[in-house]
Structure 1
Amino acid sequence: MDSLLVQKALTKEELEKVFAIRKIVFVDEQGCPPELEYENEDVSHHFLALSDYKPCGACRWRKTDAGYKLERFAVLKEFRGCGVGRALVATVLADLPSDAHYIYLNSQLDAVGLYAKFGFVTEGKQFEEAGIQHFKMVKKV
């Protein structure tokens, strides 16, 4: 992997690439119901990761009643372990408004370590979401 770029997905074509990555990772690989996967799209800020100009990862953030929720981090299998997840998290955090006071996410178990590197800590008990075990994680300032 020579060049890795994470950009905001603003065009219809970029959003289609984001949704295609999420379909492969969440719906096809992990068996998430499509109706759960594609909710709140219109109120979310979407991001697309490109490795050597090839789409390889995606994520989003949105404002909720509780604060700012980071969601839908997906990296295509052949790009995992190459820093794509770290680049997505760093870019999304940098994109949040400067007054973002409460930042949280629901992490799949195998991603807890990634988010911990950015100051997130687990909160509460492990729970199931779309058939997959998660922990709620909150960013400590």
Structure 2
Amino acid sequence: METLQVIKIKNKEELEQAFAIRKIVFVEEQNCPPELEWENEEVSTHFLALINTNPCGACRWRKTDAGYKLERFAVLKEYRGKRIGQALVAAALHDLPADASYIYLNAQIDAMGLYAKFGFVAEGDQFEEAGIQHFKMVKKS
């Protein structure tokens, strides 16, 4: 029986595990420029998904001038399809301050269905970020 848990990162070792997952998914798999991948780390709240204590996914949120932005959702290829992305979104949303009124993210097109399950709605035009097509999505419910 696989046990899935999402923890709020509280030390350097856990943060390095999250960074390693993001490096594999974004830099190696999706060819994102590494210099775009590592920004705003110190002002973000990070999460790590574990299956049976094995790190398998990561994400973060941060406060911006616009509101609260959910970012850097990454799940290792061999763990996809196990609801890890859903667990990460739920954990990040649950952790936001109670008064977080404007919550948004930039969704890769193939991940839009995941965010829609949590009440996010696409706004504006499709755009490219790090060579990948995205839509801005805002939480409406």
**Could you state the TM-score of these two structures normalised by the residue count of structure 2?**
0.99
SS in 2 for 1:126: strand
Q: Structure 2 counterpart of 1:82, which letter?
A: K
Q: Structure 1 counterpart of 2:75, which letter?
A: V
Matches of 1:79 and 1:136 in 2, distance apart? 26
Matches of 1:72 and 1:2 in 2, distance apart? 24
Matches of 2:95 and 2:43 in 1, distance apart? 15
Aligned match of 1:82? 82
Query: What root-mean-square deviation, in Å, do the aligned CA atoms of Structure 1 and Structure 2 show?
Result: 0.6
Q: Structure 2 counterpart of 1:36, which letter?
A: L
**Could you state the TM-score of these two structures normalised by the residue count of structure 1?**
0.99
Residue 2 of structure 1: how far off its partner (Å):
1.0
- Say whether 1:27 aligns with 2:13: no
Q: Which runs of 5+ in 1 are unaligned?
A: none
Please give the residue correspondences for 1:5-84 in structure 2 after superposition, counting only pairs within 5 Å: 5-84=5-84
Q: Which runs of 5+ in 2 are unaligned?
A: none
1:22-66 CA-partner distances (Å, limit 9, x unpaired): 000000000001110000000000000000110000000000000
Matches of 2:12 and 2:90 in 1, distance apart? 24
Aligned match of 1:122? 122
Q: Runs (4+) of structure 1 moved beyond 6 Å?
A: none
SS in 2 for 1:138: strand
Matches of 1:79 and 1:117 in 2, distance apart? 20
SS in 2 for 1:57: strand
